[in-house]
Structure 1
Amino acid sequence: MSRFSGYPGRSYSRFALVSLLLVGTAGITLSAALAHAAIGQQDLDVPFKDTAKAASVTTHPPFTGDPDKVDFLADSVAYDETRQIITATGQVEIAQQGKIIKADQVIYDLPQDTVEAVGNVAMMDTNGDVHFAERMQLQRSIKDGYIKKLRSVLADGSRITAAEGKKTGGKTVMKNASYTPCEECKAHPEKPVLWQIVADEVSHDKDEHAIEYKNAKFEIYGVPVLYTPYFSHTDGTIKQKDGFLMPKMSLNSRLGFGVTSKYYLGISPSEDATIGARVFSKNNPQLLGTYRKRYDHAEMEFDSSGTYSDDTEQFRGHLFGKGLWDINDKWRAGFKNQLTSDDKYLREYNITSENVLENQIYAERFEDRDYFVARALAFQDVRVSDRSVDQPNILPELQASFMGDPNATLGGRWNLDLSSLNLLRKGNGQDVFRTSADASWERKDVLPIGLVNQFTISSRVDAYQISDRDEISIVGGAGDAQAFRFYPYIHDVVSYPVSKNIGSALAVIEPTFALTTSLRTKNTTDIPNEDSQDVQIDAVNIFQPNRFPGLDRVEDGTHVTYGARTGIYAADGSKGEVFLGQSYRLDDWQNPFPKGSGLSEDESDLVGQVMAQYQDLYSLNYRFQFASQNLQSERHEVYGFAHLGDLSLSSTYLYARTLDGTDLQDSRQQIYGSASYHLNEDWNLLTDVRYDLSKEEQGLRYSGIGVNYIGQCFTVLTTLRRSYADKDTGEAATEFSVQLGLKNLGSIGTNE
């Protein structure tokens, strides 16, 4: 076997010089060297026509990847000096600049400036593409050439075949060609693949990362089902390419039949945009647009749509956006905007089902344990209902939190929270300005007997300025007012966790007792309640010193809290936990909690939680609230999950009684369930349903069923959905969707 490795600028024998002239003219530098197949540094007679011109042995390692070097390997090499042709025969391999060619025979023709490979030809490109052919003729450093009976495997696994092809630079034009990203059947490779595109001519442009077809037919299992005179798509090697996206179709009871067409514009590797339109049989066309941009330390994204309504003779649309800017290692800023023309637009066009839209701009600072944020927020309530009071705008909100080192102050840690809030309703409701400062100190001790004690002392000051106050969130009547509140408290929590090993599992029981006391404070006479309305005792907040969310309401007086948590934890991740707790007020002051919160009586409702999990197969989480006097149900939340082989089941149940002081004037009771069944590796069935069990709105709220096929190169997602009208959405709708996904081509569907 002969091996050649060459560098420019060295002294070689006569044959090596001829080789340098030959391959240098073709754009390849080559020097001759001989090596024995088994003994790499011994001389070997090589069947040259003129063996006297053979070069002496050199020992460069093969396929080094040096850009100025060609590595050459063959069983035998012959040189015709008259015709200036080198012929390499038998297991020929040539490598240069990451490209590798293998063939039974390779012929270098200096006058024609060509390299021809014959028999079992294989060429491996730098991007991972591999090409096989019966014959391949290349020019100019194997950049240009002609190929016969081509079979190519692209870097992403896609395959191209052609009767013949011509390669010019980075573009290959193939005749009578086909393309498919689908894998062949391993047991029967002669069978037609799932789908392929067959065309009279296929062009693959590596520089543009595009594949174009002329007179193309789309075949499924070898049967033509679609014809187009021209078609193009990316070759799967890039994530960004200008062009039309696959059209989508929709079928909706409100909008009718629709077609969506979009054009993708790749402005730069870090910036793109999409524009398009949706045309409906029952509505006017809808224009669409998205824009995304990423900077070194920032990013932003916008999504928009718009249409003209003949019914209202008004423009309808939406604009959503978000952005984030990492200013430095301590500061960052961002924004989020959600705007729409009317309450029904977003649901009618399946954009989002959110009830309240949020707009905000903010700046944050992080340093050690300290945190600061300044932000402005505005809200848009898009529930279909009559509202007497608008959602307030927050212009602005300031929050700062400072925390001391652990155990640094009297064996504990200090904490300081500052906040300022300005709520504006533009004349449709009360305006509130609030500022607050909260200083606290806490210490945690573990006594030698195992008792854990956590002691907290806190003092908070709140100041309010109220304009156009109303009776919805304040008792004192309409008008302007100022209010001041001082709220100090002492809070001590004692627990005694005990554990015991039971086989490979660990059992734990932890009884807990807490005492909280504070001065009597103002809660309702002068101070409005904006952020503390939705108060509910549960297993999470029962041991908190103040069970009110927000700052507008505080829990004054003295109360004790008691409960216990027990659990068992297995080595395989399985576990079971049970918690039960209750609270009791010790003074006769006016109770600040509304009815339905579980805290409106001196003796609170019983709250608890039961959790069970067996590995990753089964899970149950049940949280409950019972009235302490008669054990009447007040609130239940149940979530369960089961994975039974190919069948997966999940369900959520909620029951909650009315809560005074909020818009939740009716009891809520709802159940949701979903199931998924995998028929095999590719097929699965889906279904889900939501049912309202409350007396006021009893009935089916949502149902859906789906059949999905997810294969190696083809996906089918089929769904039938039915949404039923309620007081928030105002309308019902039925939608059927079928979305087909073709690898590297995109998707065609009946759902936007």
Structure 2
Amino acid sequence: MSSLLFRTLAAFLLAIVWALPGLAEQPSLKAGRTTDGPSGKAKPNKERPDAQPVLMTADQIVHDRDLDIVMARGHVELDQGGRILLADSLSYNMKQDVIIATGNASLTDIDGQVLFADYFELTGDMKEAAAKGIRVLMVDDSRIVANSGRRLAGDRSVFDMGVYTACNPCAEDISKPPLWQIKASRVIHDELAHRIEYEDAWLDVGGWPVAYTPYFSHADPTIRRESGLLPFSVLNNKVIGTGVRTPYFQVIDPYQDVTVSPMVTSNDDQMLAITDRLRTSNGEAKTTVSIANLSSQGYGGNATTGWNIDARAQFNLDQRWRAGYEIERASDQNYLPSFGYHIAQPYLTTRPYLEGFSYRNYAAVEGYSFQSLTTPVLPVGALPPQKSPIVLPLATYNFVGEPSSNGSYWSFNTHAANISRGQGTDSRRVNTDSSWNLPFTAADGEVYKLTTSLRADAYNSNNLTPQNSSQVDAARAIPEAALTWRYPFSRINEHSSETLSPIIMASASPYGGNSLKIPNEDSLDFELDDSNIFNPSPSSGYDRVVTGPRVAYGTQYTYVNRGLGAADLLLAQSYQVKPQTVLPQGTGLDKTLSDVVGHTDFSPSANVNFHYGFRVDESSLRMRRSEVATSLGPPALNLQSSYVFYDRLNASSPFYAREQLNTTLSTKLSRYWLAQIYQVENLGNGASPLQSGMRIIYEDECLLFSGDAGSLHTTSQTFATGHYFMLRIYLKTLAQFPVDLF
């Protein structure tokens, strides 16, 4: 182990209070786990092994009837009720009921634990034993080594001058001390209580003692979860100052547990979080709620009360139906980052749902509610955005029929939604789409798909504009026919294969259908790209439709070579008699000739990958969208980068033009060390780095160490540009020590 890691571990562990009596385990909750009541301890499968018959095998077995001693030599194996004793030689005194085993002796218990010793003295039922030079391999590959030991009643082992570690011995030098170990004058493994206890214990790191406790205990490997204190964590930022979280974990029963996490901070804030987990044979649920008393010192100068809830569940009602929910809410946009909660999206979502699956049918009823975590930056003179909608109910039904003898099949989709706001447009809608599909492959290899469909929609809205609050009804029916043709030309030789496929999709439907009486709720950010250009109806969502005669054409080329990798290229464009005037300018379909879209994927080897996707204005050749993603190099030295450029999608889109570059350089320094340098940079107006930092990770069988440091640049009024530092030390099977500083 490098001296840098040792000094870091030693300095950190010296700063903590080591003598926490038994940090609790909190692994995943498993349904149906057999436990001994609320402690959550596993019941070993011990069904009186001493009452089982004894099976002995050896190269030579001799029974001295005068002394009543059985002696065995060479590959001796003694098996009784799952306990297995192996040795080079063995003697069994039948009068005293004592077994003596020597030479490569090992005793495997019924739970998989293995005891090795130079010398074993056991009772006939192998439940009690004494040993010298003992070594224990536990079920999770952790180890105990001791000068001597005793096994009592088959469920309690006492080791004198013992050492415990989860680290493997050094392959080059087995005398070298492990990365970490606990040395104690006495180590006790209580299999009934499922605990390993230490008396007069020292924690050694790299062979150096760094912490002492007169008594320490932790759960043995058979425990998946146990009530008790969990490792504390430290958080620091400018809002709360320095905070310490000390969670307590309580097992309720085999299917449920609760974690209570109080936190106090240097800014005189107090926070309490409670997490409840439940898992049954029908589903699972997890709920986290927190409440905090926030001082005026760091929270915008005003004392207040903050809170959040994060709950999600899913339960199978029967073989076809399941129900669940996701609930995310917070008192304000700064509460979650203030207390170190990770936020994956700039909004919180609440979603109850009911789903049904039956062969070729799918049905769902759900609802949505959103809470924004950002403050939008509006152009001068722009109107404030409408409030986030509440969508309840949102119902969907999909059906795909059985193929007929000629391969044709029917499909039917229906969708209904009620969208309401406290301020803005409210709408109700029902959308249906039924289609007949006929896929067909000609004898010469041409591939066809004929689709005829009828779409019918009905809308009822009010508050369409600030000047019009009356209710408005609208309906439309759109028949459509589409034919897609592909003609793949292939060439295959010994080492490679090529396929060139011209593609044409022709569709026709009546013009119209995009009445201004229909609110545009889900088609605001439509953009033509290589994933939808060959769809007869490429628009996103339900509210806006692409109508009229339209032809999309393009070419796809794929190449696969056994030594040179693979490549895939696509280039496509569409033509329509009339531009889609209802679609805002910039969508790619607002002209007779659409923008040109395509992609290039190239992977010459497992260590080189390249992707480029684009949309180019057909008249000005101006780049509308550009996406580049690369991965270069093996794990020993790997560079990953992604570049995205989006012109402002259209005049009504809520998304503005943006240009961003993400770069990560990783190096696998060795089997255990990984280092990364990363940067996220805004290349658009006011170009500046958004985030930059470095990460180092060390992980082996017994230790996980990670450190993160960098700078974060945000537009949040509370979390402005600043620095962060995160440290994680996890002594596997023992404890973890996280520290987050912002």
Normalised TM-score (structure 1): 0.84
Q: Which residue is 1:705 aligned to?
A: 694
Deviations along 1:321-361, one digit per CA (max 9) or x if unpaired, are 22222223322222211121111122233312221211112
2:433 is the counterpart of 1:438: yes
The 1:482/1:226 distance shift into structure 2, 3 A limit, reads same
Q: Quick one: which of 51, 56, 61 aligns to 1:71?
A: 56
The Cα shift of 1:283 comes to 5.4
1:424 equivalent in structure 2:
420
How far is the alpha carbon of 1:98 from its aligned partner?
1.6
Counterpart check, 1:108 vs 2:55: no
Residue in structure 2 matched with residue 398 of structure 1 by the alignment:
395
2:723 corresponding residue in structure 1: 734
- The one-letter code sitting in structure 1 at the alignment partner of 2:576 is R
Note the 1:4-403 alignment, pairs <5 A.
67-71=52-56, 75-78=61-64, 86=69, 88=71, 90=73, 93-102=77-86, 104=89, 106=91, 108=93, 110=95, 115=99, 121-139=105-123, 141-169=125-153, 170-282=155-267, 284-311=269-296, 312-353=302-343, 354-385=345-376, 388-403=385-400
2: CA distance between counterparts of 1:744 and 1:620? 41
8 Å CA contact retained: 1:414, 1:442: yes
Q: State the partner residue of 1:605.
A: 595
Q: Report if aligned partners of 1:253, 1:733 keep a CA contact under 8 Å in 2.
A: no
Contact 1:497 1:511 in 2 (8 A): yes
The amino acid of 2:226's aligned partner reads: K
Cα deviation for residue 90 of structure 1 reads 4.9
Which one is further off, 658-667 or 614-623?
A: 658-667
**Aligned-partner Cα distance in 2 for 1:165–1:189:** 22
Kindly tell me: are residues 109 and 515 of structure 1, through their superposed partners in 2, closer, same or farther at Cα, counting changes over 3 Å?
A: closer
Q: Tell me, what secondary structure is at the counterpart of 2:336?
A: helix
Output the CA distance in 1 between the equivalents of 2:304 and 2:589: 49
Distance 1:524 1:694, change over 3 A: farther
**C-alpha distance in structure 2 between counterparts of 1:443 and 1:683, whole Å:** 56
Q: Is the 8 A contact 1:384 1:728 kept in 2?
A: no
Higher RCO (CA 8 Å, separation ≥ 6 residues): 2
On the 8 A contact 2:612/2:628 being kept in 1, the answer is yes
Q: Distance in 2 between matches of 1:318 and 1:641?
A: 39
CA distance in structure 1 between the partners assigned to 2:388 and 2:49 by the alignment? 73
> Structure 2 vs 1, CA of residues 357 and 72 (structure 1 numbering), >3 Å: closer, same or farther?
same
Q: 2:267–2:295: 8 Å Cα contact kept in structure 1? A: no
Q: 1:450 to 1:133 in 2, by over 3 A?
A: closer
Structure 1 residues 403 and 729, CA, compared in 2 at 3 Å: closer, same or farther?
farther
Runs of 4+ in 1 over 6 A off after TM superposition: none
Of residues 703, 719, 734, the one that matches 2:708 is 719
Displacement after TM superposition at 1:536 (Å)? 0.3
Q: Secondary structure at the match of 1:277?
A: strand
Q: 1:635 aligns with which of 625, 631, 637?
A: 625
What displacement does 1:567 show? Answer: 1.8
Tell me which amino acid in the other structure corresponds to 1:355.
P
Aligned alpha-carbon RMSD (Å): 2.7
Give identity over the alignment, percent: 28
**Counterparts of 1:657 and 1:582 in 2: how far apart (Å)?**
19
Aligned pairs for 1:427-466 (under 5 A) are: 427-466=422-461
Q: Quote how far apart the aligned CAs of 1:669 are.
A: 0.5
CA deviation digits over 1:440-486, x for unaligned, max 9? 11222223343322222211111111123325xxxx94432111112
Distance in 2 (CA, whole Å) between partners of 1:729 and 1:495 is 55
CA distance, structure 2, for counterparts of residue 110 and residue 200 of structure 1? 35
Distance 1:175 1:663, change over 3 A: same
1:486 corresponds to 2:471: no
Name stretches of at least 5 consecutive residues in structure 1 with no aligned partner: 1-25, 30-66
Shift of residue 160 of structure 1? 1.2
| 8 Å Cα contact 1:445-1:454 kept in structure 2 | yes
> For 1:563, which of 547, 554, 563 is the aligned residue?
554
Code of the residue aligned with 1:97 in structure 2: it is G
Report the secondary structure of 1:347's partner residue. Answer: helix
Query: Residue in 1 aligned with 2:738?
Result: 749
Partner of 2:7: none
Q: 1:436 to 1:509 in 2, by over 3 A?
A: same
- Looking at structure 2, the residues matched to 134 and 629 of structure 1 have their Cα atoms a distance apart, in angstroms, of 86
Question: In 1, Cα distance between the equivalents of 2:718 and 2:552?
Answer: 41
Q: Are 2:410 and 1:414 aligned? A: yes
* Separation of aligned partners in 2, 1:411 and 1:147: 75
- Conserved 8 A contact 1:355-1:728: no
Q: Which residue of 1 aligns with 2:575?
A: 584
| Letter of the structure 1 residue corresponding to residue 398 of structure 2 | S
C-alpha distance in structure 2 between counterparts of 1:301 and 1:587, whole Å: 53
Structure-1 residue corresponding to 2:586: 596
**Cα drift, residue 532 of structure 1:** 0.7
Q: How does 1:502-513 map to 2 (within 5 A)?
A: 502-513=493-504
Give the number of the structure whose alpha-carbon radius of gyration is greater: 1
Tell me if 1:497 matches 2:488.
yes
SS, match of residue 469 in structure 1: coil
Structure 1 residue 105: Cα displacement:
5.0
Taking the aligned partners of 2:433 and 2:84, their CA distance within structure 1 comes to: 72
Whether contact under 8 Å (1:608, 1:624) holds in the other structure is yes
Q: Which residue identity is paired with 1:237?
A: T
* CA deviation string 1:422-453 (max 9, x = no partner): 0111x222211001221211222223343322
Q: Which amino acid aligns with 2:436?
A: W
The answer to whether the Cα contact below 8 Å between 2:445 and 2:487 also exists between their aligned partners in 1 is: yes
Displacement, 1:419? 1.4
Aligned partner of residue 341 in structure 2, secondary structure: coil
Letter in 2 for 1:280: T
Contact between 1:240 and 1:269, CA under 8 Å: does it hold in 2? no
- Tell me whether 278-287 or 681-690 shows the greater mean CA deviation: 278-287
Shift of 1:157: 2.3
Q: What amino acid sits opposite 2:448 in the alignment?
A: N
Q: 1:394 to 1:134 in 2, by over 3 A?
A: same
> Structure 2: 5+ residue runs without aligned partners?
1-47, 297-301, 378-383
